[in-house]
Amino acid sequence: RDISDRERIVEELQAAREWMGITLNSISEGVISADRSGEIEYMNPAAQKLTGWSGGGVQKLAPLSSLTDPLESEEAVKRARKQSGISVQDVLRLMDEETREWLDLEQLEPSGEGARRQEAILLRKDDSEVIIEITSSKMEDHRGQWIGTTYIFRNITQHREIARILAHQANHDPLTELINRNRFKVFLDDAIQSARNRKGIHAFAYVDLDQFKVVNDTSGHSAGDQLLRQLSQIMRKLMPAGDVLARLGGDEFGILLHDSNLEDTMNCLNGIKDAVQEFRFVWEDKIFTVGCSIGVVFIDEFAENETQILRDADTACYAAKELGRQRIHIFHPDDEALTRRRAEMEWVNQVQESLEAGNFELYCQPIADLQGGTGHQCEILVRMKSGNNLVAPGMFVPAVERFGLMSRLDRHIVGRFFEILKGYSEGNPDSLQDFNFFTINLSGATLGDEDFREFLLQAIRESNIEPGKLCFEITETAAVANMASAMKFISAVKSLGAHFALDDFGSGLSSFAYLKTLPVDILKIDGIFVRDICDDPVDLAMIRSIRELGQALNIKVIGEYVETRDVMEKLAEMGVEYGQGYYISRPMPFLEYLQSGDEAIRSG
């Protein structure tokens, strides 16, 4: 019976050993076991592949008898050493990622119970490098005696590269490859701390391009983007070594000059100003001349914070523009009352007067169905009358937001929208049947305005349009800044059957995460990813990911800034439902669009 029991135990051990072998051979993590002297006793295939130590000279698992007979186990180990003779130090050649100094494996030995984990550079047998995450743990026999160490490691090179790319994207402007506003604020804060601690003086310059809007309005955003790229390269070449140039947004740049006195600062900035003015931008058959206005703030030990520095530089830049543009203006405390108030209050007063007089006109931009569907759809836009001109919202909305008038403006736009629809469909209730949806922008301030919410709900109930044809656009930034009130607002409006769209989707690294929280029906892909999809594989991959995510969540997708046929066809090929941009149609009066329908598409 003892013999049969022993045979049964051996069979069970054999089965367990085979299962362990199958497992170790199939996992993607490398596994190396070494004895107390550091001689390798086992490497699984993944370890051989990762280290480059494959083929002869690498001992496999010890025989089955080593699991059942201590004497045979000892003999098996001796045979393994004799056949292998490979030290784990030779196979696992590790370097510190930052210092590139060699790491002794003893540094990885767990000091107590459990395992120790570390990331390091692995120098493979052919001297190529990979980044690994490695965990070491002690092996003990049945008596609790230490008999060796097991190392488990995996290749994280690709993960690290993805992390590097994401970090770069988080800190850099994708259009110009300059650092972005968020990263620049870190440099600015460091300069403030340095000025306080060392009593040094730094200079911050706020650069705003002049006549940039002319390029955008006459030749489209593609031309504007190319101009920004070229000017960024010009300014970058004129920057002193060690100083910082950033794109702060739109056509605005920031320059930080360390330890810079007045003379050095003016020499540098005059060089940049003159270079921008002398540059001739050629687009198709047109030649454009642009300039820049620059506001300067000196950062000394009395500087308050980066928010105040940015505000003061912005004020100085406004002063430069008011004094005739194409000049440099150094901030003085009296400037704020003189320039900011004058510039912003002028817009605020004009907006208030226009609201009273009804001097706002509704425009819209048609949205094309890229998958061959029928019907019409468009985004509602607004223009303010100023004499014989129409002013785009980009000119007055910043001041309106700062002075808390956005809810009032949104109310006017929504009210006018329903008035136009009512007048258009009066006497012909079926006239809106061919329109699939209208999107209307709402500001962040409006999302938190309970009075506006009640106004909107009442307007929807009393209107002659199906709520399902209404889609309200909100930006990710506005929704996140007012998350609780935004959710309450969205829930109330959706209860009537209306829809919501998330505008500029993809511009934030956390965009995908918010989809779990925000119950939106449409995603409008940020135009920065759409414009270059025919040439940029990263943009193409981003849009494909957004499209697949939309499919999974039953969310429609609109690609913005469609400015060429190739871009439109590429979006359609990828399954993106809708497209919007200058190639499809320029903005046009809303009532004109209602009356023209499909004729608006590609006619503007």
Give the separation between CA 372 and CA 377, rounded to whole angstroms: 13
Stretch 595-601: mean pLDDT: 64
Give the separation between CA 201 and CA 277, rounded to whole angstroms: 28
Q: Please state, rounded to an integer, the average pLDDT across all residues of the chain.
A: 85
**DSSP assignments along 297-346, one per residue:** EEE-TT---HHHHHHHHHHHHHHHHHTTSSSEEE--TTHIIIIIHHHHHH
pLDDT of 565 reads: 95
Which neighbouring-strand residues pair with 505?
A: 525
Whether the per-residue pLDDT at 563 is higher than 60: the answer is yes
Closest CA to 203 of 324, 293, 312: 312
The single residue listed with the structure tokens 């779990």 is 516
pLDDT of 587 reads: 94
Q: Which of 5-9, 23-27, 75-79, 518-522 has the lowest mean pLDDT?
A: 75-79
| Tokens describing residue 350 | 């004009």
Q: Give the CA dihedral 11, 12, 16, 22, nearest 10 degrees.
A: 40
What pLDDT digit, counting tens, does each position of 336-358 carry? 545 565 677 788 889 999 999 99
CATH topology of domain 163-333: Alpha-Beta Plaits (3.30.70)
What are the sequence ranges of the domains in the chain?
2-155, 163-333, 344-597
Stretch 111-120: mean pLDDT: 70
Residues near 539 by beta carbon (within 8 Å), at least 6 away in sequence? 528, 529, 530, 531, 532, 533
- Give yes or no for a contact between 300 and 201, defined as CB atoms under 8 angstroms apart: yes
For the chain, give me the number of helices (H) and strands (E)? 24, 25
Whether the per-residue pLDDT at 64 is higher than 50: the answer is no
- Give yes or no for a contact between 322 and 339, defined as CB atoms under 8 angstroms apart: yes
Strand residue runs (E) in 26-85: 30-35, 40-43
What pLDDT digit, counting tens, does each position of 225-282 carry? 999 999 999 999 999 999 999 999 889 999 999 999 999 999 999 999 999 999 999 9
| DSSP helix/strand/coil, 556 | strand
pLDDT of 430 reads: 79
pLDDT of 12 reads: 56
pLDDT of 504 reads: 82
**CATH match of 344-597 with 1.10.150.250:** no
pLDDT of 211 reads: 87
Q: Binning pLDDT at 50, 70 and 90, where does residue 484 land?
A: confident
- Percent of the chain beyond pLDDT 70? 85
| DSSP helix/strand/coil, 404 | coil
Give the separation between CA 566 and CA 563, rounded to whole angstroms: 9
Distances (CA, A) of 67 to 1, 12, 60: 21, 11, 14
- Strand 470-475 to strand 202-210: parallel, antiparallel, or no bridges (unpaired)? unpaired
- Give yes or no for a contact between 351 and 384, defined as CB atoms under 8 angstroms apart: yes
CATH architecture observed for domain 2-155:
2-Layer Sandwich (3.30)
Backbone angles phi, psi at 252, to 5 degrees: -115, 135
Whether the per-residue pLDDT at 187 is higher than 70: the answer is yes
- Strand 244-249 to strand 280-283: parallel, antiparallel, or no bridges (unpaired)? unpaired
- Give yes or no for a contact between 521 and 499, defined as CB atoms under 8 angstroms apart: yes
Closest CA to 431 of 469, 488, 473: 469
